[in-house]
């Protein structure tokens, strides 16, 4: 696909038996990430300082994800020198289909993508895992709740990517008339306020086909005073039943197995719809009662806001205190993604936070400069076990760029690195 666009799809085509199980038929005994972790373990790379940071970053992405709202788009960059992972958390409603598109330009790194569900009091539950060799990745939301998408590149590798998360319908539209439109919604008053509308009304040409929204079987056909000619359809593998009402004709029998797109009847105005234009009343019923079917069939997929062009090269520093004052002005951050209005930025310890564009500035201009009075050994990261970046000779002009905890980020010529404060 052009631009190496990968749609990371997790749907019925992957034969997921339920939300909480990984499809072993697709992945075998291990997910792509688990296989990679096993390879690191065999070479003892997971026990190196970098390997330990890689594991810690992956855990932190699930424990402290960044809250997002669907739809959203991010343009991001994982720096190879830092071991980072990104957790993107969002709420999703039952009946919607997550659509995750990942555009990763050709680059020598693998990006692991995993979808988790969060339930109160339990560990995040892995729903699906893939890497960017996958070409299709969607997920039908069977349970309303909180979900996290974790992204992490291979150890000591990185590159650019763009990710878009939207939500569309999880089942087919139940009317074939191209001019059909939804004109009455869930919860509207009925019978002078005595009851509420338990579905949506899809107005269409009389006699146009009303079709199966999913594969399944017909559990009943009826003719009632309110619904008129009715068909009940139970989709295979689902916990709900589809209800088609006000049909002009029945074209199936009770017990009949149908495929998605098969005609069940024709649109009409039977029952208590005799005085209204022809339409299909479409409802969805679970064992707990009816649910709003709009999200299941709504063909309008909201697009995310455009992402402005922003540089993700190099460090930046805070122009004002953040995180409730725990991060002082001039704290160093590394922008790792750009959203519509904010950066997602990593602190030097790997913690990811959302930062408004106006709250950071590049480190191009130093805070101060002075000659080194002794030879300096700069570290790659502000940690005692970090590797040495380079040594700076005594007398070199050293520019102070910012701080993180007990360390200072400095630059000497074209070399940047960390040293203990003082």
First to last CA, the chain: 53
| pTM metric for this prediction | 0.85
Domain residue limits, the chain: 2-169, 181-297, 316-362, 368-420
What secondary structure does DSSP assign to 52-88, as a single string?
A: HHHHHHHHHHHHSPEE--SSEEEEEEE-TTS---EEE
Cα–Cα distance, 52 to 47 (Å, whole number)? 6
Cα–Cα distance, 314 to 68 (Å, whole number)? 24
By the 8 A CB rule, do 256 and 218 touch?
A: yes
Query: Which one, of 268, 271, 277, 280, lies nearest residue 207 by Cα?
Result: 268
**Quick one: 368-420 is in which CATH superfamily?**
SH3 Domains (2.30.30.40)
**What is the full per-residue pLDDT of the chain (422 aa) written as tens digits?**
333 332 332 222 222 222 333 333 344 568 999 999 999 999 999 999 899 999 999 999 999 999 999 999 999 999 988 899 999 999 999 999 999 998 877 667 889 999 999 887 888 999 988 876 655 689 999 999 999 999 999 999 999 999 999 999 999 999 999 999 998 766 565 655 556 668 899 999 999 999 999 999 999 999 999 999 999 999 999 999 999 999 999 999 999 999 999 999 999 999 999 999 999 999 999 988 899 999 999 999 999 999 999 999 889 999 999 888 889 999 999 999 999 999 999 999 889 999 999 999 999 999 999 999 999 999 988 988 888 888 999 999 999 999 999 999 999 998 999 999 87
Instruction: Please calculate the CA angle 317-321-322 and round it to the nearest 5 degrees.
Output: 90
**Quick one: 2-169 is in which CATH superfamily?**
Mitogen Ypm (2.60.120.510)
Query: Which one, of 11, 37, 36, 39, lies nearest residue 26 by Cα?
Result: 11
Q: Which fold has domain 181-297?
A: Glucose Permease (Domain IIA) (2.70.70)
Q: Find out if CATH 1.10.3300 is the number for domain 316-362.
A: no
């Amino acid at each position: 696909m052009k631009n190496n666009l990968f749609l990371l799809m997790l749907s019925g085509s992957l034969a997921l038996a339920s939300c909480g199980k990984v499809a072993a038929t697709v992945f075998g005994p291990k997910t792509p990430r688990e296989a990679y972790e096993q390879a690191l373990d065999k070479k003892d790379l997971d026990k190196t300082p970098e390997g330990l940071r890689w594991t810690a970053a992956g855990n932190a992405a699930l424990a402290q994800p960044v809250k997002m709202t669907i739809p959203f788009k991010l343009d991001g960059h994982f720096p190879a020198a830092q071991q980072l992972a990104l957790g993107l958390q969002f709420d999703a409603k039952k009946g919607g289909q997550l659509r995750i598109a990942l555009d990763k330009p050709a680059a020598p790194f693998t990006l692991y993508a995993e979808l988790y569900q969060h339930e109160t009091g339990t560990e995040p539950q892995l729903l699906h895992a893939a890497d960017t060799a996958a070409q299709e990745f969607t997920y039908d939301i069977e349970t309303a709740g909180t979900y996290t998408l974790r992204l992490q590149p291979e150890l000591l590798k990185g590159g650019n990517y763009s990710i878009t998360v939207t939500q569309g319908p999880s089942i087919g539209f139940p009317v074939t008339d191209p001019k059909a439109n939804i004109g009455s919604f869930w919860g509207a008053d009925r019978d002078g306020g005595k009851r509420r509308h338990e579905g949506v009304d899809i107005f269409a040409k009389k006699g146009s086909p009303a079709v199966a929204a999913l594969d399944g079987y017909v559990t009943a056909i009826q003719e009632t005073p309110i619904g008129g000619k009715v068909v009940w359809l139970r989709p295979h593998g689902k916990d709900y039943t589809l209800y088609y009402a006000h049909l002009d004709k029945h074209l199936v029998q009770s017990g009949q197995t149908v495929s998605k797109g098969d005609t069940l009847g024709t649109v009409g105005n039977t029952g208590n719809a005799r005085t209204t234009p022809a339409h299909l009343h479409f409802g969805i019923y679970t064992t707990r009662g009816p649910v709003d079917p709009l999200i299941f069939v709504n063909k309008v997929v909201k697009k995310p806001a455009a992402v402005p062009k922003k540089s993700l090269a190099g460090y930046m520093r805070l122009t004002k205190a953040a995180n409730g004052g725990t991060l002082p002005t001039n704290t160093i951050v590394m922008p790792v993604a750009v959203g519509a209005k904010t950066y997602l930025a990593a602190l030097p310890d790997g913690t990811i936070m959302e930062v408004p564009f106006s709250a950071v500035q590049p480190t191009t201009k130093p805070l101060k400069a002075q000659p080194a009075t002794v030879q300096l050994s700069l570290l790659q990261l502000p940690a005692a076990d970090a590797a040495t970046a380079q040594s700076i000779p005594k007398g070199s002009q050293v520019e102070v760029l910012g701080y993180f905890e007990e360390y200072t980020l400095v630059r000497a010529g074209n070399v940047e690195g960390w040293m203990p404060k003082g």
